[in-house]
Amino acid sequence: MRNAGHWRNACLALLISATPLGGTRAQDYPPDIATATPAAFAAWRAVTPIEYRNKAWIGQLNGVSTPMERIKLRGKPFYYGSVCIPHDCGGNFVAFLIAVDGAEASGLLSSQSLGVRHRWFGAPDSEARALLQKKIGD
């Protein structure tokens, strides 16, 4: 009997370790762009206004977030997502579109804490603007 329980537990542990959690991996989250695709992160840093670069949730995309999406925009793959300020998400979001190859990036900041209604990063076209506004619920 003891052996049967051991094998059942071992099989269960194997099954759990082999099952992806919601199909996500660590690099699917915004703060991991820096290590997963440094060129994309450099593009984000280039469009982030200097006064926001030292705010981790904006400059490093290191705040509260859900997994990023990968979308195609103008035939190119982009990271698409948003991050909010830790412990104060209500009304404090930055949305981003970052080309996976690092060729371009754009964003939209809306932050009650910083007194910013809409601050565009980069030069988003109308399609990108609509996506960014949608992401922050505006």
Strand duo 69-73 + 92-99: pairing:
unpaired
Domains of the chain: 25-135 (3.40.1420.10)
Per-residue pLDDT of the chain (138 residues; tens, 9 = 90+): 444 444 333 333 333 333 333 344 444 899 999 999 999 999 999 999 999 999 999 999 999 999 999 999 999 999 999 999 999 998 999 999 999 999 999 999 999 999 999 999 999 999 999 999 999 986
Cα distance between residue 45 and residue 34, in whole Å: 10
Closest CA to 106 of 122, 117, 127, 118: 122
Reduce the DSSP state of residue 56 to 3 states and report it. helix
Nearest to 48 by CA among 1, 98, 8: 98
pTM above 0.75, yes or no: yes
